[in-house]
Amino acid sequence: MNSFNQKTLFSIFLNQLIKRKLALICISILFIIYFIGIFAPILSTHDYAETNLAKTQNGPNMENWLGTDRLGRDIYTRVIWGIQNTIIITLITIITGSFILGISLGLAAGYFRGKIDIFIMRLGEVISAFPDILLIILLAATLRPSIISFGHYIEDTFGFRGILSSGIVDYLVIGIALLPLSWFGLMRLVRGQVLSIRNAEYVQAAKAMGTSNFVILFRHIFPNILSPIIVSISFSIGAIALSEVMLSFFGLGVQPPRPSLGVMIGDVTARGGASISVLRNHPEQLLAPIIVVWLMIFCWNIIGDALNEIFNPKNQY
């Protein structure tokens, strides 16, 4: 990777992107999905927890655009709040796993090498030695009760409410559980990239001029390894959406009444059975959340592929 001037990089990027129609379509789809999710409070037509037993299991109609579930809750509203839930989890995981741990540890390991490098790599190896799904479930199942009682303690001590009902605790648990998955791959990538350019002339020159390590890392090295990071993150977002579904399937995601796509799918699939029945009898209840999850995974992969081709025309992983 050569050191591009930021401006040319961006214009190349735009030019390339316009050539890729499918990627553009995917970006638009994701834009719409995320827009709906972020503005769920405004766009929702009902209260997500509001049951209405006068109209259970209705098909799509004017009042309930995607119909209602067995408790008469509006499926459209629950889907868009579920999207918001996925967005929050994605953000948490990317900020903590990718940015804070993955990138900074990768930079540190690659740049300083020596003991720091060995320690970080060993730590990563230990974590990646676990079968990942088992580790996620283990973490979520064992941490949740302790974190919830800690939340209760905080609320009771300071005499206010809302920590638990806001869902922060759930997000904390999910964030921690997904952490081991998200950082090591990116860390290794960043480390490798740093290793490959740390002896480049401009880095050596900066060093010789007495520039501080921090400045070298973030002004000279980081911008030049940005593109593989973007590619890697864009691939991982789809996977995070899927992880949320998995956790909810095992009852370890956000707690009700907050809706989540995983609960909507897992609810009827729980213990491996009923989804066939729902699929055969009330497909509309299952299809909306499944299509959204499917779109997220599909589109982020297409975008990842496109970005990859644009940034690394030779190295197409």
Interface pick for another protein out of 12, 32, 126, 205 (rule CB under 8 A): 126
Q: Are the C-beta atoms of residues 6 and 219 closer than 8 Å to each other?
A: no
Phi, psi for 177 (deg, rounded to 5): -65, -35
* Six-digit token string for 163: 């920590």
Residue 275 engages another protein in binding (rule: CB under 8 A): yes
d(CA 117, CA 110): 7
Residue 143: name the closest of 243, 247, 242, 241 by CA: 247
Instruction: For residue 161, state whether it binds another protein (rule: CB under 8 A).
Output: yes
Residue 205 or 276: the one with the smaller Cβ distance to another protein is 276
Q: Is 315 in the site for another protein (CB under 8 A)?
A: yes
Segment 237-256, which members bind another protein (CB under 8 A)?
Answer: 238, 242, 245-246, 248-251, 253, 255-256
Q: Tell me which residues in 213-232 interact with another protein (CB under 8 A).
A: none
* Residue 282 contacts another protein per CB under 8 A: yes
Q: Which is nearer to another protein, 228 or 238 (CB)?
A: 238
Query: Per rule CB under 8 A, is residue 59 in the interface with another protein?
Result: no
39-58: contacts with another protein (CB under 8 A) = 49-51, 53-54, 56
Contact call for residue 25 and another protein (CB under 8 A): no
Interface with another protein includes 89 (CB under 8 A)?
no
Say how far apart CA 63 and CA 84 lie, in whole Å. 22
Asked if 28 touches another protein (CB under 8 A), the answer is: no
Whole-number Å distance between alpha carbons of 65 and 84? 18
